[in-house]
Structure 1
Amino acid sequence: MTSTAAPDETVVVVAVFTAAPGQLDALRSALVEAIPAVHEEEGCLLYAIHDAPDDQIYMLEKWTSAALLDAHGSGPAVARLQELTAGLTAGPTQVLRLSPIPAGTAEQGLL
């Protein structure tokens, strides 16, 4: 993944996991198991999952910098997540790396 964010700018990630047929509950459990290790990583401000239609789970992430997000991507927590979710998804996880566009109030206009 490449980032469009400046080195000192927060980075938001949206990852979409699509469950293999009959595997939604197992996928949800695997992600829940993997999350605590990520929460301990430097730079992790948000790492949360949400159910979505069509047997999908959306993961919303916020990192203090692109560099720390990159470190996360090649670290042991992601390796463990991949191990836990192996065989539970219908295809590759879709990952979007986003840069904030401030609008409105600081509390409501930025994630």
Structure 2
Amino acid sequence: MTSTTPATETVVVVAVFTAAPGKLDALRSALVEAIPGVHAEAGCELYAIHDAPDDQIYMLEKWTSVDLLDAHGHGPAVARLQELTAGLTVAPPQVLRMTPIPAGTAEQGLL
């Protein structure tokens, strides 16, 4: 069974960055520097980073639509992020797009 996400539906993204050996602090700093440019983009509701085990940083994102997320992916803020993180990771980030499933209260059941 195949499904597609409507272009107007909220989308949540988790991106996992794995730092190259000895580069975790530099990767963290690069991501912090890149975030204000993303926060200024249309459709960005959440774009936050979190430390995780094994020299990983998780980025949690929420976008008002797939179209605006796609525009972000091809825009100058992502180009800047890629420039800042070049050589700081062991591989490109792993990116997972998800569609929220409302459950429970609106405050606790949705990102």
Q: How high is the TM-score relative to the length of structure 1?
A: 0.95
Shift of 1:80: 0.3
Q: How far apart, in 2, do the equivalents of 1:42 and 1:4 lie?
A: 22
What SS does structure 2 have at the residue aligned with 1:32? helix
Q: Which residue does the alignment assign to 1:53? A: 53
The match for 1:9 is 9
2:75 corresponds to 1:69:
no
Does residue 104 in structure 1 map to residue 104 in structure 2? yes
Q: What corresponds to 1:86 in structure 2?
A: 86
Give the drift of 1:4.
3.8
Provide the residue aligned with 1:32 in structure 2: 32
Distance in structure 2 (CA, Å) of the matches to 1:18 and 1:78: 17
Query: Distance in 2 between the 1:5 and 1:23 partners?
Result: 36
Distance apart, 1:8 and its partner CA = 1.9
Q: Structure 1: where are the runs of 5+ without partners? A: none
Q: How far apart in 1 are the matches of 2:4 and 2:13?
A: 12
Give the structure 1 partner of residue 21 of structure 2.
21
Aligned pair count?
A: 109
Over the matched positions of the two proteins, sequence identity in percent amounts to 84
TM, length-normalised to structure 2: 0.95
Q: Which runs of 4+ in 1 moved over 3 A?
A: none
